[in-house]
Structure 1
Amino acid sequence: MSEFEHSTTIQASPDEVFAFIGKVENLPKYLPTTKSAQPQGSERVRVQGEARGHPYDADGYFRRDAARHRLEWGADEGHYSGWLAVEAQGEGAQMTVHLSFSGGPPAGEGGAPGETDQAGPNREQIQEGLVKALLSIKNFVEKGRSGGKEAPSAAT
């Protein structure tokens, strides 16, 4: 299993941040590879996008816990999951995002020497995606309409 995490602060209340991140229609505004997201009923989401030149169209779960300012999501197959939590910090908030991948290492880290998955992102690209996602949230929440999505150097 591979685990990734990143935190950053934002000059907004946890309620303001959660109001933005908790809307499925806002996912494409801050997730690096997501182009479209639609609710699919209670705690379900369909996301579409492109990662490293490969289009994807996936269904999964998307759970909101407004009282704890926490999102949880993942693939139905169980190979990918994550959470994003927002906590009060001084006059602002701290956002922490965490991703878990099971069933194999990221690209470039195959089990046998020389074994890699060239289609998937490597550890550095995944970490960069986390950083850019939180920066995109910060841009939109702090700057409103003048903010924008941050794109990673290589589309993870």
Structure 2
Amino acid sequence: MEYQGTRRIQASPDEVFAFVSDVRNLPRYLPTTKRAEPQGEERVAVEGEANGHQYQADGHFHQDAQNHRLEWGSDGEISYSGTLEVMPDGDGSQVSVKLRFEPDPQRAPNQDMPGQAPSDNQIQEGIDKALESIQNFVEGRGGKEEPSAAT
């Protein structure tokens, strides 16, 4: 399953990429994420809370500064990966995010499982809120936006 989102941001690609590629900023824009720490070369550990459940996850986090591209993926029970690309768009930037989830045989397609797995709509809302949060911080007009399903 793949999900994606795009948002135009009024800032240079270098400025946007500098913000999103700093691991310390992940909690500022990733929904439900409360803490993120680098764990050596291209590794990251994150902690947060979603749907009333605490989580901790480790994964890879690759930065390609020349192409303004991030790639990441999980090591845990839920297998997912993603990319974020920042491209020039006139006098600003366009940020595109793609998330991919490996099918879970225990989860029926489009089935809500509160406290276990987010629905397709919740995942898409999370992408949209992450992009809105990036825009808020980089443009200096607000803070982190959490999806309604985060609480």
Length-normalised TM-score, structure 2: 0.91
Residue pair 1:107, 1:123 contacting (<8 A) in 2 also: no
Length-normalised TM-score, structure 1: 0.89
Find the counterpart in structure 1 of residue 55 from structure 2. Answer: 56
Structure 2 residue matching 1:151: 3-state secondary structure: coil
Cα-to-partner distance string for 1:66-86 (whole Å, 9 max, x where unaligned): 000000111125811001000
Find the counterpart in structure 2 of residue 137 from structure 1. Answer: 134
Find the counterpart in structure 2 of residue 117 from structure 1. Answer: 113
The separation in 1 between residues aligned to 2:12 and 2:104, in whole angstroms, is 37
Determine which of 124, 127, 130 is the counterpart of 1:127.
124
Find the counterpart in structure 2 of residue 20 from structure 1. Answer: 19
Structure 2 residue matching 1:154: 3-state secondary structure: helix
The answer to whether 1:87 aligns with 2:49 is no
Find the counterpart in structure 2 of residue 101 from structure 1. Answer: 101
User: 1:5, CA displacement in angstroms?
Assistant: 0.2
The separation in 2 between residues aligned to 1:126 and 1:4, in whole angstroms, is 8
Which amino acid letter does the alignment assign opposite residue 139 of structure 1? N
Find the counterpart in structure 2 of residue 154 from structure 1. Answer: 149
The separation in 1 between residues aligned to 2:113 and 2:137, in whole angstroms, is 34
Cα-to-partner distance string for 1:33-69 (whole Å, 9 max, x where unaligned): 1000000010000000011111111110000000000
Distance 1:82 1:106, change over 3 A: farther
* Superposition CA RMSD, Å: 2.0
Find the counterpart in structure 2 of residue 7 from structure 1. Answer: 6
Residue pair 2:112, 2:119 contacting (<8 A) in 1 also: no
The separation in 2 between residues aligned to 1:149 and 1:108, in whole angstroms, is 31
User: 1:104, CA displacement in angstroms?
Assistant: 2.0
The separation in 2 between residues aligned to 1:126 and 1:80, in whole angstroms, is 12
Which amino acid letter does the alignment assign opposite residue 144 of structure 2? K
Residue pair 1:108, 1:122 contacting (<8 A) in 2 also: no
Percent of pairs with identical residues: 57
Paired residue total: 149
Between 45-54 and 116-125, the greater mean CA deviation after superposition? 116-125
The separation in 2 between residues aligned to 1:43 and 1:141, in whole angstroms, is 24
User: 1:153, CA displacement in angstroms?
Assistant: 1.2
The separation in 1 between residues aligned to 2:70 and 2:61, in whole angstroms, is 7
User: 1:105, CA displacement in angstroms?
Assistant: 7.5
The separation in 2 between residues aligned to 1:62 and 1:105, in whole angstroms, is 26
**Which runs of 5 or more residues in structure 2 are unaligned?**
none
